[in-house]
Structure 1
């Protein structure tokens, strides 16, 4: 199975932690040169960049808020400066939120949709002219879009939008040789740092057919598969990486 991306340029949004960092690392280990963006502390980005460097290749971290058009354009400019066609785009940035629908304010609704859905539109549109032949776009959705989760109407709507955008773009960009897919993780196990008590994580794990939560690395392997030539005839799909949730 060919899971190599030697010398190819990849852009990963939200690349310093969680699924984004695991994805950036998986792509780097497969030989890609990674441009990552982050919106947190510079020290976190520096730490992530050091780990990526150990995999070899040329990598960059750009501070950018992908909900801001000017930052997105600057991020696209960094990819342009890399001097190679963009072979892989991973729209990973997202935010979770919980609110009963009766208490869901318009500001909270807009924040979740801007971060989870509109950012993917902005980044994809900004780099559209940089995508090379046979490029792969992978959007990170969520299995919650199909399952429906109480208190997450805004989150489910945004992630459902990712699925719809993925399907439509696959047909629009397919004639140009560009593939567009999505991965839909289940509940990602980030350990104690998730803020969830151990008993809550255990209860969520029991909901899975495999009896455990998915790891960020396992989601990243799904992204890597869709990014590589092995999946060259796969487009318009949403790959569930949820352990049968």
Structure 2
């Protein structure tokens, strides 16, 4: 239903965005999530310099361990998916962590994808939540890097994903707000958010043992945008904050009356 905007020559309506990125209301195609090669290289260089090399990651790991990881990545073929192992393993709190991780890795391995699982060394120690036989099966189906238990996974995850190329996706529910904050200018923050939206896979099904399903990654950008004579504004019900990997289902389409 269209409504006039008081004091302005605009009409507004609630609408949806089709999979192609076209607005169902006005027919305009909204901005793509795809980064150009130039934008990707610019972002990669900034992340490597400001977050990996110049950020606070040494408080979460050591220079020696980061170097060990960088050498490990250089010896591997480019990855298709980088998996935050500890984050994924805790997807289903009532299930055993190693079982959940093995289930996710096994499903992805059937698609002949180059996988990297990032984890911590304690995941290799026999425990009621971590079974050695299941972790060995994980290691047979994916490249694995287990950091010291005091380390954080996200600098490694960012490095491996960006190093592998623009096709590489990553799986975690981590929002990476700390890393976005390390990027000091608005352009780089904007590109980081856009890259994150286009590359972050999050598990959304709730039943352990069932086929893993991921939050859909749209082809279009999900932030407020304008072409001058039109505005498209994601509309979030109840003013709840949307996670970076979540897609708005309703939009407000505003266009100037002719």
For normalisation by structure 2, the TM-score amounts to: 0.35
- Which structure is higher in helix share? 1
* Larger gyration radius, structure 1 or structure 2: 2
